[in-house]
Structure 1
């Protein structure tokens, strides 16, 4: 039926105020802000905007970190983030420093003040710049011995890195995309931590492969170790909660991926566990949108017309569709129920392939609108496409003065209802029950229904022939489908 399906399910995001608070609380972002406020006229920076090595111990001490190599590394990382996110502005060096190197100066950036005076959207925009910077660090090459890459003339042999930046970025984005999908699985109930071996395998092992080969297992192992490094870098910016690979495993097993494949549920946690946070959902979705990926969120349609709403929720999971419709109705206000219902009904009309599913969601939306929608519903009782839907709604709301539908309207509604369910890809058992229930309500159902003037009549009857458990009824349905196609001239 409808040809186009959304690739990603809709995500339910926390409010921007909640997300902004999470962003401000991200450990790396907190350290970057503290260093931005600590920096002053005497702060010395190098030609690349980095904090000079002599000042790293003081910066680490300000952050409450030990003044050793690790503390200096954390301080340097936080400083880079402060510069990358505009919390600090660095001027080009104009002279030599105490150690003979060129040094510049630093001042507070415009974004630093926005952290206390700006809107949640402005804060999240700054944080997203930070996420992009950390993502770039995570996909940077691993340099075991940088000196080996420097030639006699001082130039760097980039070819020796064996590093493809586009490939590295694509791989990490693919992993984060898979984690995003897993988090949204089962209407958002799939937010349990994901084992790192499973996440690595999702990018390496072909879908149609049975037992992984030794070569594939080796690739998974290498991907795991790379992801372990990357998630350690990404966790402080707040997008994931990460339990790293147990370093003791490196001594216990030569191939962590091979060992993980046979580990029990209790042991698998030692191979790394990762979970996307609510802030991570927001951040990964923002990156996907920027890359042109359709990544819907509940609430996207709240200010759109009824036609966009019904088309938009056509293939949403039930809970997400309900939430989206409720937001749409809430935006119309208490006094706007009747106009909103009339708009929904108008948008539900049509003979295109998506029309039956629009009418199904229109019916669900009217149920959420409540009894106040009755005037709009009664106004379409005579409509050949909406009259059956209107009668069902009125009956469900206890109306006693509803005119009986014609037989043609009953059959048309039956075809339309099954067409909508086929398009919605519902549960097979439920669809089979619907098919058998509708056909059992009317004597000689298949003798008459093939005459229904509905674009999906033949297609629905063919489906009924496949789904009906009674062999005679299934055969009658197939005969009726043939008659419907002959009547339509195709």
Structure 2
């Protein structure tokens, strides 16, 4: 399953200046810049800007790459890729060859090269992003070794042997990066976000409703691991990911037919001592930046942490329940930072009112945001003690802080708050979670004759909440009582 990127939690990015410094330090981009500076006027190149063999060797020497007999091929490949990136992103100007000029053109540093030192962070990031897009396109290409072998052996070129579906290959890499983006965002600020490669591969291959993967699915996971290993090895020099590759001995075993997915018992367990041998990847801040730009270009909502600080209280409370808890707290802190506590608390409480479907979730988010506000929110909270919709959460908030003199809630208020609390969970994306099941069991166990009183609660969500409690409670008799109560609630005459 690939990430559902229609609803994305916000990510936290460094300042542009820091991102630009990291872009300049990315090995591939740094090499491309260095070769562009090295390319003096009149450097001889092919019609498409490609370097002849002698120039490639000179470029490798300029980059300080080893050129022993064993390493010459790799050094030339690295230099060739860096030169191609320099040409593709416009750091080098190529002049086409003239007729009769042995099919060679010339290359020289371009005006855009000056942006690397004389431009601002945004200029550097534009150039780096262009390089990143080139690498992402390359990573989605198929392995061409089979075709090279055909040509070398003098065989007829057979494109069918590639078995290449460009759209599917691009979707595969996009899916992996999208899942990494989502996992990084869900971890919240300050978390490493490293993901074992088998776990990432499984997220792309294993169906959501499959409890135990079949041998065929495990084989697909193994194939996906090897494919991702190749792609992330290409993306790391560009600065998109930090990657610890699959160990060579595992690659050799896979070449002999051993499935990679049969490695660690739990590939997603970070405590597994062997997990790093199967590859571990995380998005860098530059990677997050690049993927977010792509998503925004596709018209998707890809917010940044802190963007809610300028919104009104209603927008904040509507957004918080959709966010991971650490991110929600960060957003609440940022929203409160530039506001007077008493006025902010009043605005939050006003925004929490309502009988619409999202109102219970807003009230729960209001309680969480007020926890960040601290003691300065107390006067505003006291003002709503007798409010029908907010009185229950006000008592909870004050009691949790040990405030003296908090009036006892009426039975009606207790049950209204119970229904509202369950409705808040059902109204979000967290239906049927262990936490919700525990809440349902707690409410039923705490209040004797819960359903005899709950069906009478004048709350818009009462029937739906009671039906959900019947579905979620493990005791069959209690579940039956809940369904009966839901029927009564639906049959109750409306005012």
**TM-score, structure 2 as length reference:** 0.81
Contact persistence 1:5–1:315 (CA under 8 A)? no
- Equivalent-residue separation in structure 2 for 1:65 and 1:131 (angstroms): 22
Distance in 2, Cα, partners of 1:90 & 1:242: 33
Deviation, 1:193, is 4.4
1:347 counterpart (348, 351, 360): 351
Residue aligned with 1:163, SS: coil
Partner of 1:108: 110
What is aligned with 2:317? 310
SS at structure 1 position matched to 2:310: coil
The alpha-carbon distance between structure 1 residues 259 and 93, as it changes in their structure 2 partners (threshold 3 A), is closer
Larger deviation: 236-245 or 249-258? 249-258
Of the structure 1 ranges 466-475 and 364-373, higher mean CA displacement relative to structure 2 is found in: 466-475
Q: Which runs of 5+ in 2 are unaligned?
A: 266-271
* CA deviation after TM superposition for structure 1 residue 348, in Å: 1.3
Q: 1:27 matched to which residue of 2?
A: 27
Q: Which residue among 365, 377, 386 is the counterpart of 1:373?
A: 377
1:177-236: per-residue Cα shift (whole Å, max 9, x none)?
3334454566576733413x444444345453845346x565555444433322221110
Question: 8 Å contact 1:149–1:157 — kept in the other structure?
Answer: no
Match of 1:456 in 2: 461
- Deviation of 1:365 after TM superposition, in Å, equals 0.7
Separation (CA, whole Å) in 2 of partners of 1:404 and 1:259: 61
Label 1:142 to 1:347 Cα distance change in 2 as closer, same or farther (>3 A).
Answer: same
Cα deviation, residue 167, structure 1: 1.7
Corresponding residue for residue 234 of structure 1:
235
* Aligned CA distance change for structure 1 residues 254 and 9 (closer, same or farther; 3 Å): same
User: Which residue, out of 58, 77, 82, partners 1:78?
Assistant: 82
Q: Would the alpha carbon gap of residues 305 and 48 (structure 1) be closer, same or farther in structure 2, given more than 3 Å must change?
A: farther
Give the distance between the partners of 1:292 and 1:6, measured in 2 at CA: 10
Q: Quickly say closer, same or farther: Cα 1:96–1:223, change in 2 above 3 A.
A: farther
Instruction: Tell me, yes or no, if the aligned pair for 1:184 and 1:190 is still in contact at 8 Å.
Output: no
Per-residue CA deviation, residues 37-86 of structure 1 (Å, 9 max, x unaligned), is 32332333332233444322222222111354332221221122223334
CA contact (8 A) 2:39 2:107 kept: no
Q: CA deviation at 1:480?
A: 3.5
* Cα RMSD after superposing both structures: 3.8
Which residue number in structure 1 is paired with residue 268 of structure 2?
none
1:161-200 pair list within 5 angstroms: 161-183=162-184, 191-195=193-197, 197-200=198-201
Give 1:149 deviation, angstroms.
6.9
Alignment partner, residue 98 of structure 2: 95
**Match in the other structure for 2:487:** 482
TM-score, normalised to structure 1, is: 0.81
CA distance in 2, matches of 1:180, 1:37: 34
Q: Deviations over 1:246-276 (max 9, x none)?
A: 4455655654552651567666644444333
Q: Secondary structure at the match of 1:314?
A: helix
Q: CA contact under 8 A between 1:28 and 1:78: conserved in structure 2? A: yes
Counterparts in 2 of 1:200 and 1:459: CA distance versus 1, 3 Å: closer
Unaligned runs of at least 5 residues, structure 1: none
